[in-house]
A and B are shown apart, each in its own frame.
Chain A
Amino acid sequence: MDFTFTDDQLTFREAISRFLMTEAAPEMLREIWETDTGRSADLRNKIAEQGLTALSVPEQFGGLGMDDVAWALMTQELGYYAIPDSLADTAYVVTGLLNGLPDDNPVKARLLPRIADGSVRLAIGHPINPLVPDAPLAEWLILAHGDEVHAVPRAQVDVQANASIDASRRLGLVSWQPTRDTLLIGGEEGRALWADTLNRGALSVAGQLLGLAQRILDLSVDYVAQRKQFGKPIGSFQAVKHHLADIASKIEFAKPVLYRAAYALAHGDRRADVYVSQARLACCDASWLAARHGIQVHGAMGYTWEVDLQMFMKRVWSLDPSWGDRATHKTRVAAYVLSDEARLGPGATFED
């Protein structure tokens, strides 16, 4: 029993964090918002140079071969810096799906090396999400037709763009026709792959939400320490302190839940669905409260365009129902907990 990360995992996270701190500062995100694509090729290239796009690509395809546990850390960083890019969709979620295909499927050799070197952008249309993030920009789209998984070139789909309150999210309604050429896998295997992909997408969102909660907490701590009223920093008042202490508590509570879910996913645990949904609920709780209390302690400034808080709150509100809304995840947990097969009580946390 060892609930810790390796030094390598922690060092990698630290490096990514330091990199994003300078390369993805809020003023740069605002500039990228104003562009047509809402994406920065420069930023994405730099992220690829850091090795992030290669994280879970197998070594034989030029990647680092790391698993979901590493992503539980990295997605927090992507959330913390509110990266204006659905990078996790390509590098984590789609890569996970491609890794699940049989080794002789040619799409692996075609796409995985390019994911690793950062030269391809993929979008994924899981049936649980009505719109496809980055659909207007992706070179390839991974789409569902019943249980079938299809890889469709951008030229073969029709995308109707939908603007989001989060200007970084570029969503599209995708119309397309499945063909024999686009089919990757179907039937029972396709169904299993989509189920697995839902978990990966949900976990990716969980990690990002947790990172966002931490960012909002940090911004709020800075704000209440410098903002003065009644002759004192407002952070010295108990009502304000308790708002922020509650965010911190929710974040700390959610971390191990997220990590266990990632571990379960990486190890094919048969309760992975439940654990992923558990993580989603904990991370949704933390980030939703962070946004609410964050804007409260910022006062009217929190409601402005000018103060950066809005960027992170809007990402929280946008991601909250993505890859399964809370009802979806609560339903999955409830179905297990209230069933006869549930293993309840002390000693059931880590099942063999």
Chain B
Amino acid sequence: MELAYTPKQKAFREEVREWLAANQPTTPLANYDTREGFEQHRAWEAKLFEQRLSMVMWPKAYGGRGCDLIEWLIFEEEYYGADAPMRINQNGQLLLGPTLMEFGTEAQKQRFLPRMASSVDMWAQGWSEPNAGSDMAAITSKAIRDGDHYVLNGQKTWSSRALFADWLFGLFRSDPASTRHNGLSFVMVPLDAPGVTIRPIKALNGKNTFAEVFFDDVRVPVENCIGAEGQGWHVAMATAGFERGLLLRSPARFQATARKLIQLYNANRQSADRDPSIRDAVVEAWLGAEGYALSSYHTVGRLSRGAQIGAESSINKIIWSELDLKMHETAMRILGAHGELLSSAAQAVEGGWLDGFLFAQAGPIYAGTNEIQRNIIAERMLGLPK
């Protein structure tokens, strides 16, 4: 055990810090759920890519920097510490990327990964369907082989970024006679293909945060299938744990929120201390965020010794989503009657707490509800019967 950074790691941190200080946007980008904001974010991602900072842990050949996971954690710390813009191609970069890395052909990797790293291609995901949410194996959307193409029919939903994204990946039933986990294929679909219809879903904040995607005889070449036809479930699950567990939400994001919360509390102490439980919740925020950071470093250490991530990915998901929720709830309690005000309307309310509070409501739901995560922990880690 050696809990200190090497000179090389320190130098990398310094490099990232200096580059961000010199290059990150000085004014906030427009909201990414608008076309204007989406393109501003795309341009920022491209700039990160030029510096080979968009996907630091990817191999150089695919647009990355060949960093290890410790360096990735350092990058994340600097990125969130600098309050740099929200990354919006994570569906592709963090969920699809590792899947391509493990199951893609060399041609697929070369075709898709560099464009994903540079966000020339923005990706949306297509897992959920109206009747396949927590029960993802109930998928009915089809990809039926016709010569060297699949013909896609059906509907996906809750697809973040789909409104402006270029591509979608997801699971489709390629064997019409199959049921449940069998007969599914992992397919990538260009969203400008004929027969694709995208309908925005307005979220509770009034923004078009996600979309429904309809497929009506959409033809996709067979080389857009990742892994063997019919093996889609296996392909999706094999990488699901790693990205959901470690990559999707790095601790830095929550440490930044905890710091903001402590500052908010310190600035409003007189009012906040009327309820002593607020002070405790603020201290708990630090304990939670710091604990999650330690947990990530610990996991990276174990992975470096050849361990697999397993059900702890489900534990991580519960930890960060519940932590995020609690921190934003605490902030709302400190803000009191100012909490409901939109930042644009109220000079007094800085920091985007309301937006964060709303988004935090989604945390225990997306990427597999926390109830499903608890089932996974109980069944796969503790071995309890189904």
Question: Which residues of A are in contact with B by a Cβ distance under 8 Å?
Answer: 1-6, 69, 217, 221, 224-225, 232-233, 235-236, 238, 240-242, 244-246, 248-249, 252-257, 259-260, 263-264, 278, 281-282, 330, 333-334, 337-338, 342, 344-350, 352
Bound Cα distance from A221 to B70, whole angstroms: 35
**Chain A residues with Cβ under 8 A from B2's Cβ?**
1-2
- CB-CB under 8 A for A3 and B3, given A249-B377, A256-B294, A334-B279: yes
Q: B383 and A221: CB pair below 8 A?
A: yes
**Chain B residues with Cβ under 8 A from A260's Cβ?**
3, 294
Q: A252 and B259: CB pair below 8 A?
A: no
- From B302, which residue of chain A is reached at the shortest CB distance? A4
Q: B283 and A257: CB pair below 8 A?
A: no
The 9 A-B residue pairs with the shortest CB-CB distance in the complex, in nearest-first order? A241-B378, A3-B301, A256-B298, A346-B252, A345-B259, A346-B77, A245-B377, A245-B374, A347-B77
- CB-CB under 8 A for A2 and B1, given A281-B287, A346-B81, A347-B81: yes
- From B382, which residue of chain A is reached at the shortest CB distance? A221
Bound Cα distance from A352 to B377, whole angstroms: 36
Nearest Cβ distance between residue A95 and chain B, in whole angstroms? Answer: 20
Bound Cα distance from A339 to B378, whole angstroms: 40
Apart from A338-B283, A345-B255, A345-B256, what 6 extra A-B contacts exist at CB < 8 Å?
A: A1-B5, A233-B385, A257-B291, A263-B3, A344-B255, A347-B81
Most chain A CB inside 10 Å of its own CB: which residue of B4, B251, B304: B4
The one of A225, A334, A352 that contacts B384, using a Cβ cutoff of 8 Å = A225
Nearest Cβ distance between residue B296 and chain A, in whole angstroms? Answer: 9
B274 within 8 A of A: no
Most chain B CB inside 10 Å of its own CB: which residue of A3, A217, A236: A3
**Chain B residues with Cβ under 8 A from A348's Cβ?**
255
Which of the segments B143-151, B311-319, B350-358 contacts the partner chain? B311-319
Bound Cα distance from A259 to B3, whole angstroms: 10
Bound Cα distance from A347 to B383, whole angstroms: 37
The one of A256, A345, A352 that contacts B295, using a Cβ cutoff of 8 Å = A256
- CB-CB under 8 A for A338 and B262, given A253-B295, A346-B80: yes
Nearest Cβ distance between residue A323 and chain B, in whole angstroms? Answer: 19
The one of B5, B81, B377 that contacts A248, using a Cβ cutoff of 8 Å = B377
Q: B290 and A1: CB pair below 8 A?
A: no
- From B317, which residue of chain A is reached at the shortest CB distance? A249
List, sorted by A's number, 25 A–B pairs whose CB atoms are closer than 8 Å. Answer: A1-B70, A3-B298, A4-B301, A69-B1, A221-B384, A233-B385, A236-B386, A241-B384, A248-B315, A248-B377, A249-B319, A252-B315, A256-B291, A256-B295, A256-B297, A257-B291, A260-B3, A278-B291, A338-B282, A345-B258, A346-B77, A346-B80, A346-B81, A346-B251, A349-B255
**Chain B residues with Cβ under 8 A from A1's Cβ?**
2-6, 9, 70, 297
- CB-CB under 8 A for A350 and B262, given A221-B384, A248-B315: no
